[in-house]
Each structure stands twice: as structure tokens, then as C-alpha cells.
């Protein structure tokens, strides 16, 4: 198999990865697509709306979510991957996992991309990424035990983007030092992962300069801001439910597109 190359996919207009959560405790859709039939129906909806890849996730990373055992995670993914590959062989699949065991099974089942919110910090995941030809989306985040640091969103903390950008640079360097070609890699700034609103706002304002600061092309970032609380807070409507944030998401995607960004991980396309 030839090494995955994002280049041909991200040329031109926006490239949307449609989020398909097969978990009962997603922050955005409350488990609506946890059953295989519902997941397949949503996959068709996303593809018809313009998704050019699907990103399957079976472990919730919402604030306060309990870590999931790899076996349980795979039990949620397995009934969905095979039917999706059969029904839409033209639609590449990305699997959102931080577990090397699950990632290896997903690749064997036909996934083309691994999306790791821990930036391949697990040596086993990094080794799998190095040995594989798959595409990679790697995000900065802040660990806390077996989960993630999720401080109060309105609490004190960083008021610049410097720390988050340094963390993203560490993720970049980890993958490149492992010998993974840049063409296989997208970097995700990780909005909301260990950050407060002030830090997310600073990170958003830094996006026009981020490609220069990281020496990384704008079209090789993946922005995962869909339905995030950052958008509601920025709009002055912090109580707006996630399912009602799609217009804010679309507006943010338009802003980022004007700065040269092309890849967006999103719940709804439009």
C-alpha cells in the first residue's frame, strides 16, 4: 500500500471530515448514532451533505468522560466499520482512538486514517503510526491520569496561545522524529482540550500566524471546533446547546478558510 498523502485531498475548497460518534455519551449528539443502523444512516446523511471522509469515534472525550477499555471501544466500532466499507468503499474512514490495539484493528478493517487526540504520546501508537502507511491526525491535549485535564472553562489560566502552540510543536516533532513523512500528517490545535476560554480565544486569534510559527502549511492542519463551547462563549451565548451551534461552526469555518485552512472535522456540513 502506498503511503497516505493528504495533498490531493485538501487542494481547493474546504475538506470536511464528518464526525460519526458511536458512543452513548457524546457531548454533541447524546448517543443518537450508537446503534449500527443509526450510524449508517448518519453516514449517508454526512456523505450526501459533502463529507469527503468520515471520522468514527467510540470513546467520548467530553469533559468528565470515563476512560474506555480498548475492548469496549472496539466492540462499538466493529459493527459499523465493515458495513460502512461495504456500502461506501469510495468514502475513506478515519478512526478517532488513542489506543494502539483499537487503531491496529481499525486499519486491518479498512480505515485509512488514525486520529489520535493524544498526539501519539503512547509509544505503541507511535510505533504503529511509523510502521503503517495510513494518514494521521494528531492533536495536542493535556493528560490527567488515564483521562484528560479539563479545567473550568471560565477559570484562570493561560491568556496567550504560546503554551498550546509549544505543545503542538512537540506533537509535530514527535511524529517527524519517528520518520513519519509530513505528507501523511495533519496537526490539530486541540481547542477545548485542557484550555480555558481565554486560552482558546488566544489560540483562535493566533491561527493566521500559526503556519509561520510552526513552519507548517495551513492546509495541513485539521481544525476540530465543531459545536465546541468556545464558539458559544465567543458569541456571548455560553448556554447555547451543542446541537444549536452549527451556524456558529459554519461561520468559524469561513473565517479559517479565509486564513488558508482547508480541513475541518465537523458534525454538520453547510
- For 215-241, give the secondary structure using H, E and C: CCCHHHEEECCCCCHHHHHHCCCCCCC
Ordered by where they begin, the domains of the chain are 7-266 (3.20.20.20)
User: Residue 145's pLDDT band (boundaries 50, 70, 90)?
Assistant: confident
What is the pLDDT at residue 14? Answer: 95
Whole-number average pLDDT of the chain: 93
- 492542519: which residue's cell? 221
Region of poorest pLDDT, from 4-8, 54-58, 59-63:
59-63
Residue 11: what pLDDT?
87
Q: Is 138 exposed, middle or buried (0-12, 13-18, 19+ CB in 10 A)?
A: buried
Contacts of residue 204, defined as CB under 8 A and 6 or more positions apart, other chains included, come to: 191, 230, 234, 252
Q: Which residue has the higher pLDDT, 22 or 192?
A: 192
Which residue, 91, 143, 149, is CA-closest to 122? 143
Q: How confident is the model at residue 12 (pLDDT cuts 50, 70, 90)?
A: confident
Nearest to 24 by CA among 57, 46, 47, 51: 57
Above 70 in pLDDT, residue 115? yes
pLDDT for 197: 97
Structure confidence at residue 62 (pLDDT): 63
CA distance 121 to 140: 10
DSSP for 82-143, written as a single string = HHHHHH-TTS-EEEE-S-HHHHHHHHHTT--EEEETT-S-SHHHHHHHHH---EEEEE---E
Range with the poorest average pLDDT among 144-153, 184-193, 248-257: 144-153
B/e letters for 182-193, b = 16+ CB within 10 Å, e = fewer, are bebbbbbbbbbb
Lowest mean pLDDT segment, chosen from 15-29, 147-161, 240-254: 15-29
For residue 63, name the pLDDT band (cuts at 50, 70, 90): low
Tell me the pTM: 0.94
Evaluate if residue 168 carries a pLDDT over 90: yes
Contacts of 218 (CB under 8 A, 6+ apart): 210, 211, 259, 260, 261, 262
Q: Render pLDDT for 219-249 as a digit per residue (tens, 0 to 9).
A: 999 999 999 999 999 999 999 999 999 999 9
- Look at the block and give the residue holding cell 452513548: 24
Amino acid at each position: 500500500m502506498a503511503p497516505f498523502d493528504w495533498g490531493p485531498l485538501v487542494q481547493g475548497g474546504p475538506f470536511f471530515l464528518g464526525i460519526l460518534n458511536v458512543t452513548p455519551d457524546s457531548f454533541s449528539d447524546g448517543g443518537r448514532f450508537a446503534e449500527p443502523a443509526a450510524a449508517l444512516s448518519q453516514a449517508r446523511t454526512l456523505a450526501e451533505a459533502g463529507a469527503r471522509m468520515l471520522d468514527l469515534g467510540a470513546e467520548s472525550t467530553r469533559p468528565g468522560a470515563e476512560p474506555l477499555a480498548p475492548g469496549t471501544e472496539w466492540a462499538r466500532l466493529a459493527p459499523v466499520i465493515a458495513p460502512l466499507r461495504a456500502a461506501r468503499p469510495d468514502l475513506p474512514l478515519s478512526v478517532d482512538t488513542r489506543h494502539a490495539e483499537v487503531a491496529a484493528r481499525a486499519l486491518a478493517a479498512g480505515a485509512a486514517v488514525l486520529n489520535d487526540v493524544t498526539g501519539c504520546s503512547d509509544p505503541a501508537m507511535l510505533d504503529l503510526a511509523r510502521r503503517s502507511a495510513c494518514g494521521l491526525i494528531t492533536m495536542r491535549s493535556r493528560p490527567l491520569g488515564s483521562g484528560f485535564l479539563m479545567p473550568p472553562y471560565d477559570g484562570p489560566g493561560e491568556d496567550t496561545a504560546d503554551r498550546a502552540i509549544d505543545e503542538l510543536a512537540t506533537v509535530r516533532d514527535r511524529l517527524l522524529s519517528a520518520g513519519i513523512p509530513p505528507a501523511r500528517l495533519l496537526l490539530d490545535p486541540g481547542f477545548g482540550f485542557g484550555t480555558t476560554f481565554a486560552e482558546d480565544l488566544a489560540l483562535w486569534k493566533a491561527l493566521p500566524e500559526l503556519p509561520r510559527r510552526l513552519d507548517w502549511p495551513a492546509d495541513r492542519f485539521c481544525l476540530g471546533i465543531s459545536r465546541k463551547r468556545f464558539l458559544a462563549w465567543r458569541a456571548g451565548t455560553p448556554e447555547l446547546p451543542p446541537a444549536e451551534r452549527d451556524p456558529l461552526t459554519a461561520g468559524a469555518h469561513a473565517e479559517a478558510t479565509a486564513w488558508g485552512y482547508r480541513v475541518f472535522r465537523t458534525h454538520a456540513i453547510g
